[in-house]
Structures are given as C-alpha cells and as structure tokens.
Amino acid sequence: MDFEITHDLRNELLNRRELSFTLTFDGPTPSRKSIQEKLAAMLNKNENLLVLDLARTRFGKMELLGRARIYDDEESKTSTEREYLLKRGEPKAESEA
C-alpha cells in the first residue's frame, strides 16, 4: 500500500488535522481497519484518535480516494464526530453462539 497525501489542513477550531489521500494497492481492497492502522503508523499518531471518513475506490483502478481526521484528544473527537462514524471505526464485538 502506498499513501499519497493530497491535502493536509490544520483546523484549530475543532482541534484536528484534516487529510485527503490517495492509496494505491495490489490485490483486494484493503479494509478500513488496515487503512487506519497504516495511516496512523505513517503519521506517527495514535490510531484511536484517527477517524476515517471516506474511502472510495475507482472503477478499474487499484486506487482508493479517502478522507481522514486526526484529533488532538479523545474529548474533541467524541464531541465533534458523528456517532455512526465512531462506531464504524471500532472493532466488531464477538457474538456468542
């Protein structure tokens, strides 16, 4: 996976960094979790403070366009982000059968 950050903006009012990126990959489309892990590792940030907003693949290409937000602290993240985006980034609970 190769990341190219196309837009990087610091939003002081909301205590976050807003990124747009292009991801090129080989094989199947990477999962949201793997994208979050790789982006957090690349930017040397805490994975729990990163919210992946948009991940769109392009037809016929091994390319993904995405947007992410990296918050300064957990309080800013929970007060600003929409609930469904926070749940989407969490690991799935194990269901007992």
Res 92: pLDDT = 63
Domains and CATH numbers, the chain: 2-82 (3.30.70.330)
Q: d(Cα 93, Cα 87) in Å, to the nearest integer? A: 11
Phi-psi region of 27 (alpha: psi -120 to 50; beta: other; left: phi over 0): left
DSSP state of 58: -
Q: In this predicted model, what pLDDT tens digit does every residue of 68-97 receive, in sequence order?
A: 999 999 998 889 888 888 887 666 655 554
The encoded tokens of residue 11 equal 């939003």
- Residue 91 is predicted with a pLDDT of 61
**pTM score, two decimals?**
0.80
Convert the pLDDT of each residue in 18-47 to its tens digit. 999 999 999 888 888 999 999 999 999 998
The closest alpha carbon to 86, from 56, 48, 57, belongs to 48
How many whole angstroms separate alpha carbon 90 and alpha carbon 8?
A: 24
